């Protein structure tokens, strides 16, 4: 198994790398329509990108924040869109 490193990523800077992994896993393998996978929250989310030593993108996840109006406002964090290239899973 290759050693990987994980770093923060952003839509404008790392968009191609993020789309490469998410497109392979969700759009091609799981048949998620592209417009649903790359939704309106895509660029506002926080992303992490997993890279090989050769800087090949092999994994991603995104974190969304939202405020919920409960008795007192609270910020909720959601991790989703976790994807790894074939052969990179546990």
Q: pLDDT (tens digit, 9 = 90+) per residue, 62-90?
A: 998 888 777 888 888 889 889 998 877 65
8 and 59 Cβ atoms separated by less than 8 Å: no
Ranges of each domain in the chain: 5-84
Q: What pLDDT is attached to residue 89?
A: 60
Q: In the CATH hierarchy, which top-level class contains the domain 5-84?
A: alpha beta
The secondary structure of the chain in percent helix, strand, coil, rounded to multiples of 5, reads 25, 40, 35
pLDDT at 86: 83
Give the span between the Cα atoms of 77 and 64, in whole angstroms. 6
* Rounded distance between C-alpha atoms, residue 85 and residue 20, angstroms: 9
Residue 2 is predicted with a pLDDT of 67
Evaluate if residue 1 carries a pLDDT over 80: no
DSSP 33-54: -HHHHT-TTTTTSEEEEEE-TT
> Residue length, the chain?
90
pLDDT digits (tens, 9 = 90+) for 8-45: 998 889 999 999 999 999 999 999 999 999 888 888 88
């Amino acid at each position: 198994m290759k050693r990987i490193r994980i770093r923060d990523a952003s839509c404008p800077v790392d968009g191609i790398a993020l789309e490469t992994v998410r497109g392979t896993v969700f759009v091609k393998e799981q048949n998620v329509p592209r417009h649903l996978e790359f939704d309106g929250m895509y660029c506002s989310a926080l992303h992490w990108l997993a890279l090989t030593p050769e800087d090949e993108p092999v994994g991603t996840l995104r974190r969304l924040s939202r405020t919920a109006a409960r008795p007192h406002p609270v910020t909720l964090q959601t991790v989703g869109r976790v994807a790894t290239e074939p052969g990179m899973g546990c």
